């Protein structure tokens, strides 16, 4: 039986314990992660199977809807035994007052559901299960050349940079501004970076040219997975191949550990080429769009 839990009914300890029993448990599904990115969230929980799914919601023009929070790749459903039919049950169980949703799911396919359509999204992951030389042999020709270029330019990667400095660098960049992240998203990013830094699960890497930051990334560790949560390089940093040096440094530090480097993206063709250039493999997940709006306004949403 699937139960709908309001925010005050979700017990943090019980939620995280349930997540830990799921085969597709993820950092994105932790109580603290969801709390930081979507305060006031609700949830669906299957009391028989132990599966659970967060409901991250907002309201606009009197319409309640589900949204994908900034930095969150997917929202489950998290299941002890992943099953397409059970995932569909969760989507059918979304309370009726949520008239629209645009969320990502950690599944590869869904059966046909009324009012719902899906789009494939792409993540990229790299198994760090071999020595560094073997991992580097999997780089593309261009990536190998870029890493060597960064070494020739004596690009240095600074370790354990604080969350505040990384967040300020990201927010101050032209690229970040082009993403049009709203104030709620920026605040969520700062909360997530600070929370993971305090918990000891998040850390920053940075490249400077003199005193000026030219590239930075924030990474989060969960179990055997290392997530490249967010990062970018300035035009100056790209000329220095700073992001190539930064990722190569991370790979060097975790080579032969068995850790999975999760690039947390790759829908953009340029990003896909960048990630696959390190040997990363694509992994499909789904964007699920549910539209139960009245017919007169349904066309306003994708």
pLDDT digits (tens, 9 = 90+) for 112-147: 888 899 999 999 999 999 999 999 999 999 999 999
CB of 226 closer than 8 Å to CB of 219: yes
The confidence score (pLDDT) of residue 164 equals 97
What does the alpha-carbon distance between residue 74 and residue 264 come to, in Å, rounded to a whole number?
10
The confidence score (pLDDT) of residue 292 equals 85
Q: CA–CA distance from 230 to each of 69, 126, 218, 269 (Å)? A: 14, 16, 6, 17
Percent of the chain with pLDDT over 70: 97
| Residue 294 predicted with pLDDT over 90 | no
| Residue 231 predicted with pLDDT over 60 | yes
**Residue owning tokens 């690009």:** 155
Confidence tier at 298 by pLDDT (50, 70, 90)? low
- pLDDT tens, 31-73? 999 999 999 999 999 999 999 999 999 998 888 999 999 999 9
CB of 230 closer than 8 Å to CB of 71: yes
Percent of the chain with pLDDT over 90: 88
What does the alpha-carbon distance between residue 290 and residue 98 come to, in Å, rounded to a whole number?
9
CATH superfamily of 130-257: Gcn5-related N-acetyltransferase (GNAT) (3.40.630.30)
Question: Taking each helix axis from N to C terminus, what angle separates 242-254 and 141-152, rounded to the nearest 10 degrees?
Answer: 100
Strand segments (E) across the chain: 2-5, 42-46, 52-55, 57-60, 63-67, 98-105, 116-128, 157-161, 202-209, 212-222, 225-233, 259-262, 281-291
* End-to-end CA, the chain: 31
The confidence score (pLDDT) of residue 302 equals 46
The confidence score (pLDDT) of residue 300 equals 52
What does the alpha-carbon distance between residue 171 and residue 156 come to, in Å, rounded to a whole number?
22
What is the mean pLDDT of the segment spanning 87-100? 95
- pLDDT tens, 168-222? 999 999 988 889 999 999 999 999 999 999 999 999 999 999 999 999 999 999 9
| Residue 240 predicted with pLDDT over 50 | yes
Query: Could you give the count of Cα atoms lying within 13 Å of 160 in the half-sphere of its Cβ?
Result: 2
Check if 2-120+285-298 and 130-257 are the same fold. Answer: yes
CB of 277 closer than 8 Å to CB of 142: yes
Please state the φ and ψ torsions of residue 160, each to the nearest 5 degrees: 55, 50
**Beta strands at 98-105 and 63-67: parallel, antiparallel or unpaired:** parallel
For the chain, the structural domain boundaries read 2-120+285-298, 130-257
Average pLDDT, the chain: 94
The confidence score (pLDDT) of residue 111 equals 86
How many other C-beta atoms are found inside a 10 Å radius of the C-beta of residue 73? 18
The confidence score (pLDDT) of residue 225 equals 97
Q: What is the dihedral of CA 41, 266, 116, 30, to 10 degrees?
A: -20
CATH class in words for 2-120+285-298: alpha beta
What does the alpha-carbon distance between residue 250 and residue 39 come to, in Å, rounded to a whole number?
32
What's the token pair of residue 81?
């035994």
Residue burial 169-186, b: 16+ Cβ < 10 Å; e: rest: bbeebeebeeeebeeeee
What does the alpha-carbon distance between residue 169 and residue 178 come to, in Å, rounded to a whole number?
14
**Chain CA centroid to CA 34, Å:** 12
3-state secondary structure of 67: strand
pTM of the model: 0.93
């Amino acid at each position: 039986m699937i139960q709908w839990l309001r925010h005050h009914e979700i017990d943090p300890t019980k939620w995280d314990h349930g997540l830990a029993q799921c085969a597709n448990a993820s950092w994105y599904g932790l109580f603290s992660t969801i709390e930081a990115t979507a305060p006031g969230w609700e949830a669906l929980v299957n009391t028989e199977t132990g599966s659970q799914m967060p409901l991250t919601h907002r309201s606009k023009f009197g319409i309640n809807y589900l949204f994908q929070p900034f930095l969150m790749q997917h929202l489950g459903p998290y299941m002890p035994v992943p099953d397409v039919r059970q995932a569909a049950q969760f989507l059918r169980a979304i309370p009726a007052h949520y008239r629209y949703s645009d969320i990502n799911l950690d599944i590869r396919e869904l059966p046909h559901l009324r009012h719902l359509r899906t789009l494939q999204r792409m993540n990229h992951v790299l198994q760090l299960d071999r020595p560094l030389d073997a991992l580097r042999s999997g780089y593309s020709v261009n990536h190998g050349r870029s890493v060597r270029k960064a070494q020739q330019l004596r690009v240095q990667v600074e370790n354990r940079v604080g969350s505040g400095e990384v967040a300020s660098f990201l927010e101050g960049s032209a690229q970040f501004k082009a993403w049009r992240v709203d104030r709620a998203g920026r605040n969520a990013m700062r909360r997530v970076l600070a929370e993971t830094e305090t918990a000891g699960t998040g850390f920053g890497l940075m490249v400077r040219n003199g005193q000026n930051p030219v590239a930075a990334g924030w990474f989060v560790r969960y179990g055997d997975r290392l997530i490249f949560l967010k990062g970018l390089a300035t035009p100056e940093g790209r000329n220095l191949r700073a992001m190539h040096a930064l990722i190569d440094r991370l790979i060097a530090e975790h080579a032969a550990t068995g850790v999975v480097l999760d690039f947390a993206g790759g829908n953009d063709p340029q990003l896909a080429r960048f990630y696959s250039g390190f040997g990363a493999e694509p992994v499909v997940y789904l964007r699920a769009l549910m539209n139960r709006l009245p017919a007169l306004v349904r066309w306003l949403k994708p």
